[in-house]
Amino acid sequence: MVRLKYVLAAQLLFFAAWGGWLVSSRGTSAGDFYLETEPVDPRDLLAGTFVALNYPIGRPEVCAALLKGAAHTGPLYVRLADTGVRAATPEGQVPVYGTTDCAKAPGPDGLWARGELTRGPFSFGARIRYGIERFYLNEDDPRRGASSGSVLAKVRLGRGHRLFLLDLIRKN
């Protein structure tokens, strides 16, 4: 009986520590910010109800100098900054962030997001993926019919320079 209590206490301690790590891993001092989305077809009958998202920050043009003449794939970092563009949302006017720089390692200043450069066959269709390209919805969610390009992605920068998708906000 005493052994069972120790096993249960160890399990409770493990899950409490894991929950604490998950809660703290998403927070940074940078706060929340908004990214523009690009139109894309959100249909996939096998994966459930979601909105597929593409982002202007996913285009590798800003990294052209870094990738020139190299078959680079894998992790890279993009610097995000306020573009000066404001978008009207139900929350009011919000700043839209975009890419200003690209590097193989994050710089000491600014918001640096980690992405993975992926290339299609024969080096066509290169994109930078951040792990925030899908947003799953409930069946009765009013944003279910939203398409990428008609919404802003509300994101947060977490530990390891990872982006976390918090919400989709419809543009007014």
Q: pLDDT digit string (tens) for 75-90?
A: 889 999 999 989 888 8
Selection from 73, 79, 80 nearest residue 126 by Cα: 73
Dump pLDDT digits (tens) for 45-69.
Answer: 555 667 778 888 888 787 877 766 5
CB 117 within 8 A of CB 72: yes
Sign of CA dihedral 96, 110, 128, 63: positive
| Confidence bin at 42 (pLDDT 50/70/90) | low
- Whole-model pTM: value is 0.72
- Paired residues of 35 in beta bridges: 97, 153
Instruction: Mention every residue, 6+ apart, whose C-beta is less than 8 A from residue 97.
Output: 33, 34, 35, 57, 80, 81, 82, 83, 111
Instruction: Domain ranges for the chain, please list them.
Output: 30-170
- φ and ψ at residue 106, rounded to 5 degrees: -70, 145
pLDDT of residue 19: 80
